[in-house]
Amino acid sequence: MDLGEGIRNAINKITKKNIIDQKAIEEYKKDLQKALISADVNIDLVFEITNRIEERLKKEEVPSGISEKDYIINVTYEELVRLMGSSYQPELKPKRILLLGLYGSGKTTTAAKLAKFYQDRGLSAGLICCDVSRPAAYEQLEKLANDANVAFFGIKNEKNVRNIIKNGLEKLKDRKIIICDSSGRNALDNELINELKEINDEFKPDEKILVLSADIGQVAGKQAEEFNKAISINGVIVTKLDGSGKGGGALSALNTTKAKIMFIGTGEKIGDIEPYDSKKYISRLLAIPDLSALIDNIKKVLEEEKINEENIDIEKLDFDTFYKELKAMNKMGPMKQILSMMGLADVPKEVISQGEEKLKKYKVIIDSMTKEERKNPNLLKDQNRIKRIAKGSGVTETEIKEMIKEFNKLKKYMSILKDKKALKKYLIK
């Protein structure tokens, strides 16, 4: 069970009670403690925050016009936001960024994600490979740079970091954002510290950012302190928050050590990075809809896929367009992440899995159609065509008919998307 699920279960348990008395509040406190401790939040912090929640629920009066359930959620939300620290707003200006961290932190992938983040906001970006110790680091960063459509520089098999940086800065001098990916180690030792100081001296970064994996839990705080002492970091990027049950422990520990959390990694795809916002993070944990993130995600994907909802004739919607929509949905990220933004974090895993499998199946079905069938959905009223497509795609005729039903539902959905105001109302329901 992850932190969000544990907290939501605790909230559901107390809000289902007919009477919320002191005993119910004490039980709620214990349930919250279990959820936080299981997420590797420091035990002292756990007692501090749950004692404060208990005190507020017992002493404060529920404001008029607010239900007791909403009041409990709001108090919990406010205290968790305090636990997880302040938010970060990156400055969109030219700069040099040095990324550092230990093995397994996701540093190299983060370098490409960060470059794409800035380039998508109008600042041309380039990557310098200064990881001179890990085999295939050059090839990995080069591929990621290509995936992110950003510039890349490295000197294969070169061990002199100063030489790499000197040449890299000259090669990427037209880039507004230059990100240097450094070597890692299993632990912060003297060899790594000396190498980082050498890079720092030659690269002269505006920002030195430590990359940490969420799955190390509260150890994140100690690592941040060690790196800060060795090379004076500006902040931290926490990766793998989408799949780690210890994310709460990592974020709360960093907040306690006053390390600035700058970005978080929310998935495996190149666009799965965002500035840290404690309010958004807690909203997702509590399954409060994150509408702004969802709408931004939709807008970004539609632009990338060159789908203009305004110009689509709903009456002439065909399977080609349907196929593009399926690709766009896939680009938005894991279905679990999308549902979480909509406030539906507790949809059963088997349902999510079935949904993702359906999308894959529909793609295969459309691939088995002729050009004419894709352009004219009415042709699939012919049972012989359905039989042929079923045979070609390896699915049943029933599954094809089910896809046609989903296609018709999409027409209704896109009618809603035509009106921006209607989109907002639709998402809020």
Rg of the chain over all Cα atoms, to the nearest angstrom: 25
Q: pLDDT value at position 412? A: 62
pLDDT per position as a tens digit, 138-159: 999 999 999 999 999 999 999 9
Residue 402: phi and psi, rounded to 5, are -65, -40
Q: pLDDT value at position 18? A: 85
Partners of 129 in the β-ladder: 181
Range 95-285: architecture per CATH: 3-Layer(aba) Sandwich (3.40)
Residue 282 and residue 247 in contact, taking contact as beta carbons nearer than 8 Å? no
What confidence tier does 376 reach under pLDDT thresholds 50, 70, 90? confident
Among candidates 223, 219, 248, which has minimal Cα distance to 233?
223
Mean per-residue pLDDT, 348-358: 53
d(CA 156, CA 206) in angstroms, rounded, equals 26
Of 36 and 334, the structure prediction assigns the larger pLDDT to 36
Mean per-residue pLDDT, 303-311: 49
With H, G, I as helix, E, B as strand and everything else as coil, classify residue 293: helix
> Which homologous superfamily does the CATH classification assign to the domain defined by 3-84?
SRP54, nucleotide-binding domain (1.20.120.140)
d(CA 264, CA 249) in angstroms, rounded, equals 14
Q: pLDDT value at position 182? A: 95
pLDDT per position as a tens digit, 70-79: 888 889 988 9
Q: Is the pLDDT of residue 60 over 90?
A: no
Provide the residue ranges of all domains of the chain, joining segments of one domain with +: 3-84, 95-285, 291-428
Q: pLDDT value at position 314? A: 45
With H, G, I as helix, E, B as strand and everything else as coil, classify residue 190: helix
Mean per-residue pLDDT, 340-345: 48
Q: pLDDT value at position 421? A: 44
Q: Are strands 261-265 and 273-275 parallel, antiparallel or unpaired?
A: antiparallel
Q: pLDDT value at position 285? A: 81
pLDDT per position as a tens digit, 88-116: 999 999 999 999 999 999 999 999 999 99
Q: pLDDT value at position 367? A: 85
Q: Is the dihedral of CA 21, 24, 30, 32 positive or negative?
A: negative
Using CB atoms within 10 Å of the CB of residue 356, give its burial: 0 to 12 exposed, 13 to 18 middle, 19+ buried: middle
With H, G, I as helix, E, B as strand and everything else as coil, classify residue 265: strand
CATH 1.10.260.30 at 291-428, yes or no? yes
Q: pLDDT value at position 66? A: 78
Query: How much is the pTM?
Result: 0.69
Q: pLDDT value at position 374? A: 84
Q: pLDDT value at position 286? A: 79
Tell me the residue length of the chain. 429
Q: pLDDT value at position 330? A: 57
List strands edge to edge, sheet with 207-213. Answer: 151-153, 125-130, 177-182, 95-100, 207-213, 235-239, 261-265, 273-275
Tokens of 302: 């539609």
Q: pLDDT value at position 90? A: 95
Mean per-residue pLDDT, 232-259: 89
What confidence tier does 428 reach under pLDDT thresholds 50, 70, 90? very low
d(CA 309, CA 65) in angstroms, rounded, equals 39
With H, G, I as helix, E, B as strand and everything else as coil, classify residue 263: strand
Distances (CA, A) of 116 to 55, 269, 271: 45, 11, 7
Tokens of 366: 């459309």
Q: Is the pLDDT of residue 281 over 90?
A: no
Please, which residues have CB within 8 angstroms of residue 214's CB and are 6 or more apart in sequence?
220, 238, 239, 240, 241, 244, 246, 247, 250, 251
Can you tell me which residue has the tokens 């529909």?
Answer: 362
Residue 306 and residue 328 in contact, taking contact as beta carbons nearer than 8 Å? no
Residue 216 and residue 134 in contact, taking contact as beta carbons nearer than 8 Å? no
Q: Is the pLDDT of residue 327 over 80?
A: no
d(CA 215, CA 40) in angstroms, rounded, equals 9
Instruction: Give the type of residue at 306.
Output: K
Highest mean pLDDT pick, 198-207, 365-374, 390-399: 198-207
